[in-house]
Amino acid sequence: MTDQVDLVPLGFFPTPIDNWENLGRELGISLSAKRDDLSGLGGGGNKIRKLQYFLAEAKAEKATILITAGAAQSNHVRQTAAVARKHGMRSLALLRGQLPPNPSGNLLLDELLGAELEFHDRDDFNAIVVDLMLERKAELEASGERAYVIPIGGSSPLGALGYVECAKELREQFDAQRQRHPDYIVVAMGSGGTFAGLVAGCARYLPNTQVLGIVITTASFASRECAASLANDTARLAGVDRRWDAEDLLLNYDHIGPEYGIASKEGNAAIRKVAEAEGVFLDPTYTGKVFAGLIASLGATIPAGSDVIFVHTGGSPALFARG
């Protein structure tokens, strides 16, 4: 049960459900957004829900520094750095790529937060990053620090509990307003924790709601097999009596674009559409591509007239890093 796992409250919860009536009318569905971009600390975003659980463990271990990793424009790294500062810790982030001459977007915010950034420009970054983080942990602890390692994206069964709780939060919001539960929740599928948590959480709290994951990376952790394994491990930790095979999951791999972190034409069009219709900004790495996937799924995966919740996971600082 998630209420039996320690957490440190971090965000502004519950985040609102925003009725996107203009877009819904245009698209032929009932459309709302779960505004996890408004979760508060460090500019907000979906990682805050996950970091509540990691921080509890880190504090129990008396950590002085949080170690994590991600892409150069990682939203997770930014939010981790903010959480570390808020709670009197340092942060070290291992980033894929090179430090640009003029850091912008999330990198600028990382620097403002005083995060220690270490760049690795290599194609096998995802394959070696866990070993690299453990090496840094050992080095820091040899010098007297107490280091706590958080996986890429905060995606582990522990971190994914944040989105089991999000499903519970959604249920409570719908019931309080006497609203019908959604037919579909549409969310990004990257490192997998947000998607896996919602899959496990909906099995308990919203059993008639399907979770559609729009995949935004070719990394191995976004495979159906890895996603199913994480959903199953999360369900087990949360006490949810349900298991999934890879083919049970509703995943769409058609909207990755050129590659992870590189904007797509359809994603950019979706960013503009949402901004013009609802006054809300999406980002080029995650939510722009996800909303493009939502649009492309209409009439096929998502029937006309469906009640749909789009999970806005944050990330708008990346808009200011576009060339």
Per the residue annotation, which of 30, 32, 39, 74 is the catalytic one?
74
Which amino acid would we find at residue 102? N
Chain position carrying tokens 């087990």: 236
Check if 74 is active-site.
yes
Helix ranges (DSSP H) in the chain: 21-27, 47-60, 75-86, 106-112, 125-142, 157-176, 193-205, 224-238, 265-278, 287-297
Hey, what are 270's tokens? 């979706």
Half-sphere CA count of 101, side-chain side, radius 13 A: 0
The residues near 268 (Cβ < 8 Å, ≥ 6 apart) are: 284, 288
Nearest-angstrom CA–CA distance, 149 and 293: 33
Half-sphere CA count of 37, side-chain side, radius 13 A: 19
Residues annotated as catalytic (active site), given as ranges: 74
